[in-house]
């Protein structure tokens, strides 16, 4: 078996490859469903219905897609520059911490100022976390994968400490949770009788803005150049360290946004189960979208659909909802292979 | 302070250090084998999880402990082969493929565990490896408890290191593995297939990782919990850097690390709640980052690490 680079790649191939890959992934996971003894079509039917089958299901899926979109963007921006930020989970919690600090009575402003304040604070907190990994990467060439990953555990323990100590709401009856965000800071609902909140629109706008920056600005050009070929970028006079710092701040800021949307939009107060791994799922979102900011919107909604649909599927038929994580993982690997096959063709001799 | 020093004089501390070190030793050695061949394996966290689950499940279903370890190693090697299909044969980004493997392996472990034991509120238990009594040695004061009353699997973990050192530095196979990580073109010039060498190294390394995970469920504890690995895999990746890609130093690093971990548990009792326990739990992760900072300048990483090898393409 050998790989040959394709001379020309048609646009349709690039667009259809991920779709085909997801089809393959669904076929592969149906093996697991058969093992559970349930009917594959029935199971997928329940999943589809639970994700998109009703107004309630759809709004729940879009609500779940909100943080995924933001952490997905965080990963997409960083991976474009080959800065492997695997720490979105920790940065999300830092954003949520900042929102809790600012939004639980420290300041009281009109909502038009209060909500932007929370987002700015969350983004700063998310970005600051990455200063250490960026410094270590550029000065000591310490691998950022491991530092950002390990910081997740440190931050989660720190949040745990704060929730059991200084930040614990005295009215919480002993539960480790922080005080509620004040009314001025709560993100308004954008659809009646649903949990869908302003955060979704902010996620979509962020995606469009990131796409614009990456596509049409000098910063975006520099980020892509550093990702494609660092030595060529240096030769062209681009400072790699500065670009990586910029990427890290944008990436951490987006993950911080996700923390703000969850605290101020969905839950209302900070707990330790604020994020069931949105930071890690964001990596899958970015990979499914081939790191394209606009693709992130679609892939976040797709992944959210799998998660929400699998929950309702596991209630309807006897299949553990961990199947959702398996489906996501298989889809990610299948999409990776399919995207490579758009660049290379396999020759079997 | 004298309280802290007294910790070192208790045999229990040294026994705990050895126990904590075992999964780290196997994980670090496994990652090291992959990286010496030029392939970063970020699947380690997931492979350790599925090793812990599959070895335990084998015994729970009535299998024998040692064949359970072999089963865990076999499952680990399978995921290693999957990683090398993506990262070695198809030349995909090693970071991305590894993270995908971790996602797949850990979600599969949880799914299979839930599927086979649908409604277990208290985690079911197996009879794990028991400490063996070495005549004469185990009865020695202090050393008997600290060193000579461990499970057979614990001694296995330590025995792995000299074997790996021998194979890596004293055999043609080890030379091929190290060359594949330094200069794959030179390997190819010798008529050895780089892709085969890398595949074999990643599969072997992954098998070690899986057995390292299985140590937790089959020797240290007797049950499988979700979130059991809890970042141990990532710590192993940091330890490989700390060890500067040398197996002997990896053993020392794992022991040092385990010692500090065993100490923080005991030190918690002396601070009398002045320092919240979360800060003690943070220590392993903080230390891993610190260890990488200390060794970063001296790290001699394999030259071809992260670079996919495609025949006929210039690197």
Which of A3, A145, A323 minimises the CB distance to B111? A323
All structural domains of chain B with their residue ranges: 2-117+136-296
Asked whether residue A110 is domain-assigned, the answer is yes
Residue of chain B whose alpha carbon sits nearest to that of A280:
B103
Residue of chain A whose alpha carbon sits nearest to that of B286:
A154
A328 contacts B107? CB cut-off 8 A = yes
Identify the band that residue B30 occupies on the pLDDT scale cut at 50, 70 and 90: very high
From A70's Cα to the closest Cα of chain B, the distance in A is: 19
B107 contacts A325? CB cut-off 8 A = yes
A147 contacts B111? CB cut-off 8 A = no
pLDDT at B5 over 80: no
Asked whether residue A328 is domain-assigned, the answer is no
pLDDT at A12 over 80: yes
What domain range includes position A280? 69-290
Interatomic CA distance for residues B286 and B266, integer angstroms = 18
Chain B residues 109-168 with a CB less than 8 Å from chain A: 110-111, 114-115, 118
Arch. (CATH architecture) of B2-117+136-296: Orthogonal Bundle (1.10)
Identify the band that residue B266 occupies on the pLDDT scale cut at 50, 70 and 90: confident
Q: How many CB atoms lie within 10 A of CB B62?
A: 7
pLDDT digits over A201-222, tens only? Answer: 999 999 999 999 999 999 999 9
Token representation of residue B55: 């070895």
Asked whether residue A34 is domain-assigned, the answer is no
State how many domains chain A has: 1
Q: How many CB atoms lie within 10 A of CB A179?
A: 18
Token representation of residue A338: 């399919």
Asked whether residue A273 is domain-assigned, the answer is yes
User: Which of A95, A38, A131 lies closest to A254, judged by CA?
Assistant: A95
pLDDT digits over B134-166, tens only? Answer: 777 777 777 777 777 788 899 999 999 999 999
Identify the band that residue B2 occupies on the pLDDT scale cut at 50, 70 and 90: low
A79 contacts B96? CB cut-off 8 A = yes
B241 contacts A142? CB cut-off 8 A = yes
Chain B partners within 8 Å of A165 (Cβ): 276
SS3 at position A322: coil
In this complex, how many residue pairs, one in chain A and one in chain B, have their CB atoms less than 8 Å apart?
A: 120
Interatomic CA distance for residues A150 and A157, integer angstroms = 11
B292 contacts A142? CB cut-off 8 A = yes
Lowest mean pLDDT among A275-284, A323-332, B141-150: B141-150
From A158's Cα to the closest Cα of chain B, the distance in A is: 7
Asked if residues A152 and A89 have their Cβ atoms less than 8 Å apart, the reply is: yes
As a whole number, mean pLDDT of residues B50-60 equals 95
Chain B partners within 8 Å of A160 (Cβ): 278
Interatomic CA distance for residues B139 and B152, integer angstroms = 17
Q: Which of A146, A228, A337 to mutate to test the interface with B (most CBs of B within 10 A)?
A: A146
Assembly ipTM: 0.91
Question: A89: exposed, middle or buried (C-beta count within 10 Å: 0-12, 13-18, 19+)?
Answer: buried
């Amino acid at each position: 078996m050998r790989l040959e680079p394709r001379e020309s790649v048609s646009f349709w191939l690039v667009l259809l490859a991920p779709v085909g890959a997801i089809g393959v992934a669904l076929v592969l996971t149906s093996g697991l469903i058969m093992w559970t003894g349930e009917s594959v079509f029935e199971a997928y039917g329940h999943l589809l219905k639970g994700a998109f089958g009703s107004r309630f299901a759809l709004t729940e899926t879009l609500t779940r897609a909100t943080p995924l979109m933001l952490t997905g963007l965080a990963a997409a921006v960083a991976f474009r520059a080959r800065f492997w930020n695997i720490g979105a989970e920790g940065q999300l919690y830092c954003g949520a911490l900042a929102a809790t600090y600012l939004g639980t009575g420290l300041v009281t402003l009109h909502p038009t100022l209060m909500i932007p304040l929370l987002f700015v604070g969350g983004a700063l907190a998310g970005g600051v976390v990455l200063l250490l990994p960026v410094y270590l990467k550029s000065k000591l060439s310490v691998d950022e994968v491991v530092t950002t990953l390990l910081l997740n555990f440190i931050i989660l323990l720190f949040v745990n400490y704060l929730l059991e100590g200084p930040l614990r709401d005295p009215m919480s009856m002993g539960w480790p949770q922080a005080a509620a965000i004040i009314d001025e800071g709560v993100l308004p609902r954008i659809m009646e009788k649903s949990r869908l909140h302003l955060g979704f629109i902010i996620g979509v706008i962020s995606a469009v803005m990131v796409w614009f920056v990456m596509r049409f600005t000098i910063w975006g050009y520099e980020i892509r150049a550093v990702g494609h070929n660092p030595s060529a970028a240096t030769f062209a006079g681009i400072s790699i360290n500065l670009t990586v710092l910029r990427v890290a701040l944008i990436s951490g800021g987006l993950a911080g946004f996700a923390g703000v949307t969850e605290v101020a939009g969905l839950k209302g107060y900070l707990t330790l189960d604020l994020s069931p791994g949105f930071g890690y799922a964001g990596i899958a979102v970015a990979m499914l979208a081939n790191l394209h900011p606009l693709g992130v919107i679609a892939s976040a909604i797709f992944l959210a659909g799998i998660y929400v649909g699998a929950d309702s599927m596991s209630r309807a038929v006897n299949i553990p909802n961990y199947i959702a994580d398996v489906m996501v993982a298989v889809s990610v690997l299948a999409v990776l292979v399919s995207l490579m096959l758009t660049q290379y063709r396999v020759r079997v001799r | 302070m004298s309280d802290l020093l007294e910790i070192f004089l208790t045999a229990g501390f040294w026994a705990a250090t050895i126990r904590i070190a075992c999964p780290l030793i196997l994980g670090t050695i496994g990652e090291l084998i992959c990286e010496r061949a030029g392939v970063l394996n970020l699947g380690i966290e997931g492979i350790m999880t599925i090793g812990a689950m599959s070895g335990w499940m084998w015994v729970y279903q009535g299998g024998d402990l040692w064949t359970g370890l072999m089963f865990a190693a076999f499952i680990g090697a399978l995921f290693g082969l999957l990683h090398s299909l993506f990262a070695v044969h198809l030349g995909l980004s090693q970071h991305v493929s590894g993270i995908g493997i971790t996602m797949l392996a850990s979600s599969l472990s949880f799914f299979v565990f839930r599927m086979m034991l649908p409604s277990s509120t208290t985690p079911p238990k197996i009879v794990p490896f028991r400490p063996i009594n070495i005549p004469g040695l185990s009865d020695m004061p202090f050393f008997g408890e600290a060193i000579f009353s461990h499970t057979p699997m614990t001694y296995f973990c330590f025995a792995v290191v000299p074997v790996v050192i021998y194979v890596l530095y004293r055999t043609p196979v080890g030379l091929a593995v190290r060359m594949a990580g330094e200069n794959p073109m030179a390997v190819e010039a010798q008529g050895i297939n780089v892709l085969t060498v890398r595949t074999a190294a990643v599969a072997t390394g992954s098998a070690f990782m899986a057995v390292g995970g299985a140590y937790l469920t089959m020797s240290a504890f007797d049950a499988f919990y979700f979130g059991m690995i809890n970042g141990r895999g990532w710590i192993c990746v940091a330890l490989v850097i700390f060890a500067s890609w040398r197996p002997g130093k990896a053993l020392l690093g794992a022991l040092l690390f385990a010692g500090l971990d065993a100490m923080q548990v005991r030190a918690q009792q002396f601070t009398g709640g002045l320092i919240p326990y979360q800060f003690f739990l943070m220590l392993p992760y903080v230390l891993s980052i610190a260890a990488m900072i200390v060794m970063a300048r001296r790290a001699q990483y394999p030259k071809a690490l992260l670079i996919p090898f495609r025949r006929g393409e210039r690197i």
